[in-house]
């Protein structure tokens, strides 16, 4: 009888546990059915890997609903429409932001609402006409996207590094390093000459600095001279030019007023030319007569032949 009693107790306990679980499930279903929900359709313009139906919806980290449906936007396949329900008592406003957050280390994602000001109107949506919200790129999604780009660039960098470190380039690099070492050894061998050269360059730089200071002083003196003496010189030249212009104007006025007299004088000078020519001939003849008079006064005056003495 005892084994049968034990089996009966176990069976009754199992039946009670199953009934309690069913009652608890019915209570949860009734509690969920009694809740009032607001429905929102969130549009994601990027991939939403890790988000699935039934995943929680959070508002500033507090669970307020769950995901109902996920479907592609057939007009724009790059976008995904996610239908979520949120407790109607939670105020999702017009300026509330939506995005994705990492739920756990397995990669599961949750929808999270954040922000929203008191003055902004509350969004209201039903299952048939859910309110539309455009999601913002999440930090995790941006990190994944940038990580993919970074990995692609790293792969290209490694490929270029492998091409750079080919056998031929390695040999060329070895030759360059050898030549560099030889050049450095040569420089160390001529260290004293380099020190002397640097000292000469230092002296030359000092002389150049002195010459530059002298040139600067000369330029300063020239500038001062131009500012002081140059102004007076320019003033004198300006006065001289003014006087010259006045004199030229007077000469022009004088020649214009005495144009007839000047023409007559020029004609008279033209008539004097034959008289001057005759006067020149007369002077030439007089010069010849004077020379003959000096050489032979008697013959020149009396016109007779000159008696020459005969040497004995």
CB-based contacts of 178: which residues, under 8 Å, 6+ apart?
none
Residue 4 to residue 10: CA distance in whole angstroms:
10
Residue 223 to residue 51: CA distance in whole angstroms:
82
DSSP string over 159-212: HHHHHHT-HHHHHHHHHHHHHHHHHHHHHHHTHHHHHHHHHHHHHHHHHHHHHH
What pLDDT, on a 0 to 100 scale, did the predictor assign at position 86?
Answer: 93
Biggest CA pair distance of the chain: 216
Strand residue runs (E) in the chain: 37-44, 56-59, 62-72, 80-87, 97-102, 109-114, 131-134
Nearest to 133, CA basis, from 87, 90, 89, 80: 80
Residue 126 to residue 36: CA distance in whole angstroms:
10
What pLDDT, on a 0 to 100 scale, did the predictor assign at position 145?
Answer: 62
CB 70 within 8 A of CB 52: yes
Residue 202 to residue 207: CA distance in whole angstroms:
9
For residue 57, what are its two tokens? 């919806």
CB 92 within 8 A of CB 98: no
Nearest to 124, CA basis, from 81, 85, 92, 84: 92
CB 128 within 8 A of CB 83: no
* Burial class, 113, CB count within 10 angstroms (exposed 0-12 / middle 13-18 / buried 19+): buried
For residue 223, the tally of other CB atoms under 10 A from its CB is 11
What pLDDT, on a 0 to 100 scale, did the predictor assign at position 312?
Answer: 45
Residue 215 to residue 207: CA distance in whole angstroms:
12
**Per-residue pLDDT tens listing for the chain (312 residues):** 455 556 677 777 788 888 888 777 666 655 555 578 999 999 998 888 888 899 999 998 899 999 999 998 888 888 899 999 999 888 889 899 998 888 877 778 889 998 888 888 988 888 889 999 988 876 666 666 666 677 788 888 888 777 776 777 777 888 888 888 888 777 777 777 878 888 888 888 888 888 888 888 877 777 776 676 666 767 777 777 888 788 877 777 777 776 666 666 666 666 666 767 777 777 787 777 777 766 766 666 665 554 444 444
CB 109 within 8 A of CB 51: yes
CB 122 within 8 A of CB 92: yes
What pLDDT, on a 0 to 100 scale, did the predictor assign at position 46?
Answer: 82
């Amino acid at each position: 009888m005892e084994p049968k009693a034990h089996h009966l107790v176990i069976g009754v306990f199992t039946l009670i546990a199953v009934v309690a679980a069913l009652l608890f499930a019915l209570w949860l279903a009734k509690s969920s059915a009694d809740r009032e929900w607001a429905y929102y359709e969130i549009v994601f313009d990027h991939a939403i890997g890790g988000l699935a139906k039934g995943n929680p919806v959070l508002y500033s980290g507090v669970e307020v609903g769950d995901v109902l449906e996920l479907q592609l936007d057939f007009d724009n396949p790059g976008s995904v429409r996610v239908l979520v329900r949120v407790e109607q008592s939670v105020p999702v406003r017009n300026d509330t932001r939506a995005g994705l957050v990492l739920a756990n280390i397995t990669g599961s994602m949750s929808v999270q609402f954040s922000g929203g000001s008191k003055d902004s109107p509350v969004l209201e949506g039903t299952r048939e006409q859910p309110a539309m919200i455009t999601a913002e790129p999440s930090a995790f999604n941006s990190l994944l996207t940038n990580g993919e780009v970074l990995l692609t660039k790293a792969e290209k960098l490694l490929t270029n590094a492998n091409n750079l470190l080919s056998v031929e380039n390695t040999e060329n690099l070895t030759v360059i390093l050898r030549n560099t070492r030889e050049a450095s050894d040569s420089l160390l061998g001529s260290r004293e000459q380099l020190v002397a050269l640097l000292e000469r360059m230092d002296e030359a730089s000092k002389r150049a600095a002195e010459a530059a200071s002298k040139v600067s002083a000369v330029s300063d003196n020239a500038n001062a001279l131009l500012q002081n003496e140059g102004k007076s010189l320019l003033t004198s030249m300006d006065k001289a030019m003014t006087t010259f212009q006045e004199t030229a104007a007077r000469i022009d006025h004088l020649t214009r007023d005495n144009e007839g007299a000047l023409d007559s004088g020029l004609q008279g000078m033209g008539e004097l030319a034959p008289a001057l020519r005759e006067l020149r001939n007369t002077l030439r003849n007089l010069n010849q007569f004077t020379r003959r008079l000096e050489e032979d006064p008697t013959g020149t005056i009396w016109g007779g032949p000159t008696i020459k003495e005969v040497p004995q």
